[in-house]
Structure 1
Amino acid sequence: MTAETIDRLLMALIAATLMASVVIAVVNPSYFHMVFAAEDRLVENGTALFLLFASLVLARNALSLRRRGLSLAMLLTGFYALLFFFASGEEISWGQRIFGWQSGDFFAENNYQGETNLHNLMVGDLRLARAVFGGPLTIVILLYLVIFPLLYPRVPLIRAVADHLAAPVPGMRHAVFAVLGSVIIGLLDVPRKWEVYELIFAIMATSTFLLPQNPDKTR
């Protein structure tokens, strides 16, 4: 199966996820937050899975860049691969609920959910997820998905730096879905709707790393 075919399937999956979310949220809001987007259910496990897929795509790209002798680009891409692997593990608390092991004393006392992950740690009365992984990270991701693909073909300096660092540049399809997904999810009035938002961005990341605007520079 070609990268183009996989990418089309990923785009179709994003569209289907958005449509399903709207229908479920309107028809059965309780099912939405108690089953569809609940802990350890379809949406959360899907997010972890696609973050892992994104990590594997980046790892493959890093190996390809290494064979081309592009050391800096290889190191950066490898680092991004580790970040996405970490995010995948964090999403499911590193398999804690799957395998049934208990949190250590530190996480039991300082984690919002008493689980072994960093994004739910409490710093005083502040949740780390909201301070770092919430609004600020969302803004950075939206700038990457919406603004970056517009600037890349128009600003030579940005294009040169991105290509030198082998930074995958999202396509316009990613920008459109990022805006559309933000509007649709933002308008839903159900708990845990942002879990779907995370799933959409995980799928979009996989698509971006697999087939960016500059595939000849990233792998």
Structure 2
Amino acid sequence: MEYYEVLENFGQLALACVLGGMIGYERQSRRKSAGLRTNILVCLGSCLIMMMSYEIYKQVEGMTNADPARLGAQVVSGIGFLGAGAIMKEGVSVTGLTTAACLWVVACVGLAVGAGFYIEAIMTTILVVIVVGVLSHFELKKSTRAGVLQLTVYSDNNPEQLSIITSCLDDLHIDITKIKMREEYARNEREQTIILVMEMMLLNSRHYSTTHIVNILQDLPGIHGIELR
């Protein structure tokens, strides 16, 4: 291997580290599960796989079944296992989807660098940072303008209880943006029963007063109490 080829290969790997690090830094600044090191390693590994694929293709050039994209295709599908580890489900709420999507895109960026598509990889990285960084501020401002309400609802352990509450909030044009559900033991005058505890984050687009919302929910059947957070 010539000296300039070594420098070119090192430059590709270094660029993959930089681009993966840009996305990883944004994720780590938001305290996400896949941070700086994870994104750098994913991008670096994907780049290396694509570089190896092209080198192997050059050595076996002329074979009818030689395909330089075969190893890269395995990276695109295999990164799903790593992304699945970033997705967490708590009750009916799911978190980590954006982080998992970022890992998949980072792997694609690494493949692009390894294939020599440097401009495309840089442009993709810039767009990813804009999407996950800048656009999140617009979502936060929108939530702030609409009014966010956090409360805990204690109700009967009834499978239909959530649908009752959701239907009531829909009538008020209030969205549930996040919810966690768990069961707790509660003792009344006669016996110990299991109640359903729902920690909710509501988006109040029409700016109903907190007292108005709490009073309406309190009047629903099966509700034992409501606490503001």
Query: Does TM-score exceed 0.5, indicating one fold?
Result: no
> TM-score under structure 2 normalisation?
0.25
More relative contact order, 1 or 2 (CA 8 Å, 6+ apart) = 1
Query: More strand by proportion, 1 or 2?
Result: 2
> TM-score under structure 1 normalisation?
0.26
Question: Greater CA radius of gyration, 1 or 2?
Answer: 2
Query: More helix by proportion, 1 or 2?
Result: 1
